């Protein structure tokens, strides 16, 4: 008997079965990978699109003073006589990043001059609506939400008496600003 004759031979049918099993395994792995990626959170905490910790109650500016800027997550935090607002830092006209103007005490967009109040409401210019807002929450040391944005309008949130309450902003929950006539 020759050496070749001693080797077990694989016929065409067995080869096709093996190829089919290999491709089935490959497809199963791809599906499992897809399910895993889909089940992961899309945004990490602290990134735009996720929940961002702004600071605590005692970090807020006094009511009516200049807002706090958080450029990394395109956010302004405004403290007004009505309460606190989390405002999206993108103009509702054509998407420029607007600024706070300390002399005029309002937001002014450098692109086409739209203007907005400290709470994000439209004043004048080509922007079709007030600034968009995010959902903001004050959370105590037990993780309990003690005050939060009206999800329909984006605010305002009264400042809680707890100076250590954490301020969380969900930049994945944008509330479209009100249109004007």
Min dist. Cβ of residue 122 to ligand FES (A): 11
**Among 54, 127, 131, 165, contact with ligand FES (rule: CB under 6 A):** 127
Query: Are the C-beta atoms of 134 and 75 separated by less than 8 Å?
Result: yes
The single residue listed with the structure tokens 């009505």 is 82
d(CA 25, CA 107): 57
**Among 91, 135, 136, 167, contact with ligand FES (rule: CB under 6 A):** 91
Min dist. Cβ of residue 126 to ligand FES (A): 5
**Among 75, 109, 147, 157, contact with ligand FES (rule: CB under 6 A):** 109
Min dist. Cβ of residue 104 to ligand FES (A): 15
Q: Is 125 in the site for ligand FES (CB under 6 A)?
A: yes
**Among 112, 124, 178, 180, contact with ligand FES (rule: CB under 6 A):** 112
Q: Both tokens of residue 85? A: 């607002």
Query: Are the C-beta atoms of 167 and 77 separated by less than 8 Å?
Result: yes
Residue 70: what are its φ and ψ, rounded to 5°?
-130, 80
Q: How far is CA 145 from CA 12, 40, 129, 153, in A?
A: 66, 25, 30, 18
Query: Site residues (CB under 6 A) for ligand FES?
Result: 91, 93-96, 98, 109, 111-114, 125-127
């Amino acid at each position: 008997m020759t050496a070749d004759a001693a080797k077990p031979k694989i016929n065409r049918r067995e080869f096709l079965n093996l190829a089919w099993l290999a491709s089935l395994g490959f497809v199963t792995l791809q599906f499992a990978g897809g399910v895993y990626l889909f089940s992961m959170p899309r945004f990490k905490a602290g990134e735009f699109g996720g929940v961002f910790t702004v600071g605590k109650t005692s970090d807020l500016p006094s009511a009516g003073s200049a807002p706090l800027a958080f450029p990394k997550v395109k956010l302004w935090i405004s403290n007004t006589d009505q309460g606190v607002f989390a405002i999206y830092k993108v103009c509702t006209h054509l998407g420029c990043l607007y600024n706070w103007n300390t002399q005029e005490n309002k937001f002014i967009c450098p692109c086409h001059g739209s203007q907005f109040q400290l709470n994000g409401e439209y004043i004048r210019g080509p922007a079709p609506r007030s600034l968009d807002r995010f959902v903001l929450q004050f959370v105590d040391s037990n993780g309990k939400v003690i005050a939060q944005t009206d999800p329909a309008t984006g605010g305002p949130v009264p400042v809680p008496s707890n100076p250590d309450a954490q301020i969380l902003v969900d930049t994945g929950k944008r509330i479209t600003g009100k249109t004007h006539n």
